[in-house]
Amino acid sequence: MVLNRLHVLLVATGLPILTACAAPPAGPDAALPIAAVIVKPRAAAAADDVTRTAQDRLGRDAGVRYVRPLAGGAHMLYLMAPAKREQVPALIERLRASDAFQYVELDSMMKVQ
């Protein structure tokens, strides 16, 4: 009897949570990334600082969303709308031209040789 009640309670509370997690995200951050970019700041920096610096360099031409830290002090960022896919090379060059980053490169799948 107690197990049946526990089972009903778990299903009743777990189902809405599972449904919410499976639904696509809503809001302005729901847009898909245009490109993934790896940046390495010249000096060690926190995620917020890296994101803010990249966004400052790109201005209104692209949104920037932090993805995760990488080995060696690098970070992965997503370039988001309003950027378009054909603008990615120019946006990467703008990040490279700034003195804030030691290197900037497009993240890409390595090919097996």
Do the domain assignments include residue 97? yes
Helix (H) or strand (E) holding 78: strand 75-80
What pLDDT was estimated at residue 29?
47
Which segments in the chain show pLDDT lower than 50?
Answer: 29
Total structural domains within the chain? 1
What pLDDT was estimated at residue 31?
77
Do the domain assignments include residue 54? yes
What pLDDT was estimated at residue 20?
58
What pLDDT was estimated at residue 93?
95
The Cα–Cα gap between 103 and 88 comes to 16
Do the domain assignments include residue 12? no
73: Cα within 13 Å, side-chain hemisphere: 10
What pLDDT was estimated at residue 99?
87
Do the domain assignments include residue 56? yes
CATH of the domain at 52: 3.30.70.60
User: pLDDT tens digit string along 25-34?
Assistant: 555 545 789 9
Domain, as residue range, for 47: 28-106
Do the domain assignments include residue 50? yes
Do the domain assignments include residue 72? yes
Do the domain assignments include residue 5? no
Do the domain assignments include residue 8? no
The Cα–Cα gap between 38 and 92 comes to 10
35-41 β-sheet, strand order: 63-69, 75-80, 35-41, 101-106
What pLDDT was estimated at residue 8?
60
